[in-house]
Structure 1
Amino acid sequence: MIADSINNECGVMARFSFRAANRIIDIQCQRGRAYPSRFSLKMLQYSADHGHRSAMSQLGSLLYNCGVGRAVKRSGLEYIRMAAKAGDAEAQYQLGKAYYDGGLTHQDNKAATHWLALAVDRGHEQAAEVLQQCQTALNDETEEHPTLA
């Protein structure tokens, strides 16, 4: 896990900040805190803004799933999108699921299929189930509207 989280493209401080933020979050969870502190989120944001792929994915997930308000959730989705483009399997799954669900973004089964297939190729187990559902929905759309094919 740690080997996957270290990106050669990001700097030493970004890697250090990511590790420290995760350690703080682990301690907070052990003490019963449901959501990370503002300080640990700022550390994750620093790492994400300096190119740390796993930090982008983790921060995006926290903001998208637990954030309050559409602006915060959209910001989270942008971090997820950056991590997905950088090749993070969890982010690819989350982005594909966001397109499939269509809650904060427009529902786009074609984009969902693309991101979920990439996540499956990287070994993400949950993505395979959602990909199958998405492909079924995409086939149904194509049958209903042949011009979409």
Structure 2
Amino acid sequence: MAEVAKKYDIPHHLFWLHGPITQPPVEYDPATESWNIHGYQEALDIFGDPVAFSSDTIRLIPEELTSEGTVHLDGFITHMDPPGHGKLRKLAGSAFTRKVIADLEPRIAANAAGWNSWPIWPVRCRSSSSPNSSACPRATANCSSAGRTCCS
């Protein structure tokens, strides 16, 4: 895993892509005033106790941002505690059953069939300065020849 992170110049803040985690399983980050959980058992304990460990992070947003209408996160399932979270999860689960998705497959395939004729616009790789850099695994000929490294 660490070789892949090095090969593709994956930023260090995406630490989980750099190999085994060497940090403690629970760690306080004073910069964000939050706790980072790296351990599997610790995560299970936390997710299993919503009274002590709330998912309602909206309460942490400054009141002036929520009262002014700048932030609208009410109803986001990832920011809800039980029982609201469970109700939305059951609703979504019943709406997206295997049968429902399987029945949608022909429509999805028909809609996607025309997409392969759309032009693909190259995007400049941020980590590369040379046209032949291995940091961009999908360099396109139309922009590499112009001295730019791009990914489609």
- Shorter-chain TM band: under 0.3
Q: TM-score, normalised by structure 2?
A: 0.26
Q: Which has the higher strand share?
A: 2
Decide which structure has the larger Cα Rg and report it.
Answer: 2
Q: Which has the higher helix share?
A: 1
